[in-house]
Structure 1
Amino acid sequence: MSDQDIARNLKSIQQKIEKVATDAGRDPKEITLVAVSKTKPNEDILEAVTAGHLQFGENRMKELEDKMAEIELTDVVWHFIGNIQTNKIKYIADRVNWIHSVEKAKYLKEIEKRAGKANRVVNALIQVNISGEKQKGGCEPEDLANILESAQNYDHVIVRGLMGMATFVDDPEDVRSEFKLLKELFDSHQKYNEGSVNLEHLSMGMTNDMEVAIQEGATMVRIGSAIFGERNYD
């Protein structure tokens, strides 16, 4: 995709975020656009950086590892949003800024260990299964409290909020209840904010359901194809 297209798409998405947030009575500045660059070449990421965008999401650890090594720009903020492989956390912990897809306490423990060795702090989000689809990943809502309690005394990982992936549907209104569930869990678990748990972010909403997610409280939206175009493969 050309640099003009990427810049134009980014501007269009930002304008949409601003309108939806404003219409919902929210401050658009509360919402971070994570440009999902999985399978896209480094050139596309660099074009987005040239257009002023610095937040990028990847869903494969090896691809993220490679891109972080090749794109040596300290201002770029890297988000890992895919399935975690415990034995590969060590390869990204020295540079990744956010990990959205933590669904087990053992992953937090491993991130703490690896980030500690790199002498840095990683932001984590607990992924909750809000769709009921096993392939989407995430902890069950009833397990969230125990995971948060396990994370209160870390030095190198901070739990900053929750993440959820809604069912993929043609009509985004059909998944409003799933986003509502995540927001309700976010609100009801504020009592676990202590030490290294500080719930302030909700990562939910993608290209097809971003507007509903923002209306229901998203502070991070993960947008890929609307910025970089369709992918050749998942």
Structure 2
Amino acid sequence: MSVKERLSTLQEQIDAVCTRCNLDISKVQIVAVTKYVSVETTAQALDAGLVHIGENRTEGAVQKWDELGERGIWHFIGSLQTRKVKQIVGKYEYLHSLDRLSLAKEVDKRLEDGQVMKCFVQVNVSGEESKSGLSPKEVIPFIQDLGQFKHIEVVGLMTMAPFYDDPELTRPIFRNLREIRDEVQLLNLDYAPCKELSMGMSNDFTVAIEEGATFIRIGSALVGKE
């Protein structure tokens, strides 16, 4: 199947979930995760009408942005080393993996007056040692500490659920992230509106949408693998 055909199938699935749950489909954005595919396939994704492109390795991220940057809105979704921040800032509009003050400090330092990085704070809701991110109890103190950085905007929270054959098992994780997001919103911080939830991938995005996802990160089910 082509990217366009996969996108049509995906959109039908999203529409079905939103209709069933009485959700606003316009609030669900697809981030096409292109880490395993070529520049050419990424271009096909943009040709198919996708706007949001996600990369999680700096090497591929820079190459694809250099060739296609003006055509999309770019999301860095992987763990970002502090020493590689300079390769991403000013190019990628969103960072989905903010989880430490040293990273926020470096991002803030690299941006010029008037520039803002839209950040998702990464939360390790499941507590898996193999995953990055803050523990749920660390989220609010961390976001409060981010007020010192004028170029950081906390647009939302992100998590990665464990892979389960039964995606229903991910529901408590996604629900927990939404509840933490709601707590952050009650703080009424100008730099942390925290309206978005980046959660759900190819195997569990329907459950994520039901629990409030506004950005779903779809890779193989959309662009395949090469």
Which runs of 5 or more residues in structure 1 are unaligned? none
Aligned to 1:68: 65
Q: How far 1:191 sits from its partner (Å)?
A: 2.4
For 2:125, what is the secondary structure of its paired residue? coil
Aligned to 1:19: 16
For 2:197, what is the secondary structure of its paired residue? strand
CA distance in 1, matches of 2:75, 2:215: 11
Which of 91, 94, 102 lines up with 1:106 in the alignment?
A: 102
CA distance in 1, matches of 2:36, 2:138: 32
Q: Give the share of equivalent positions with the same residue, in percent.
A: 38
1:198 aligns with 2:200: no
1:162 aligns with 2:168: no
Residue identity matched to 1:54: V
For 2:119, what is the secondary structure of its paired residue? strand
For 1:10, what is the secondary structure of its paired residue? helix
For 2:163, what is the secondary structure of its paired residue? coil
For 2:186, what is the secondary structure of its paired residue? helix
Q: How far 1:153 sits from its partner (Å)?
A: 4.3
Which of 175, 182, 185 lines up with 1:187 in the alignment?
A: 182
For residues 31-83 of structure 1, give each alpha carbon's deviation from its aligned partner in whole angstroms, at most 9, with x where no partner exists.
110000002101111111111111110111221112111224x2411111111
Matched length: 226
Which of 203, 208, 217 lines up with 1:222 in the alignment?
A: 217
CA distance in 2, matches of 1:53, 1:17: 14
Q: Runs in 1 of length 4+ with deviation above 3 angstroms?
A: none
Q: How far 1:152 sits from its partner (Å)?
A: 2.5
Does structure 1 retain, via aligned residues, the 8 Å contact 2:45–2:223? no
RMSD of aligned alpha carbons: 1.5
Counterpart mapping for 1:62-141 below 5 A: 62-72=59-69, 74-116=70-112, 120-141=115-136
Which of 27, 31, 34 lines up with 1:30 in the alignment?
A: 27
CA distance in 2, matches of 1:146, 1:188: 12
For 1:148, what is the secondary structure of its paired residue? helix
Residue identity matched to 1:29: S
Residue identity matched to 1:15: E
Q: How far 1:147 sits from its partner (Å)?
A: 1.2
- The normalised TM-score by structure 2 is 0.95
Residue identity matched to 1:87: R
CA distance in 2, matches of 1:19, 1:32: 15
Residue identity matched to 1:41: S
For 1:155, what is the secondary structure of its paired residue? coil
Which runs of 5 or more residues in structure 2 are unaligned? none
Q: How far 1:154 sits from its partner (Å)?
A: 3.2
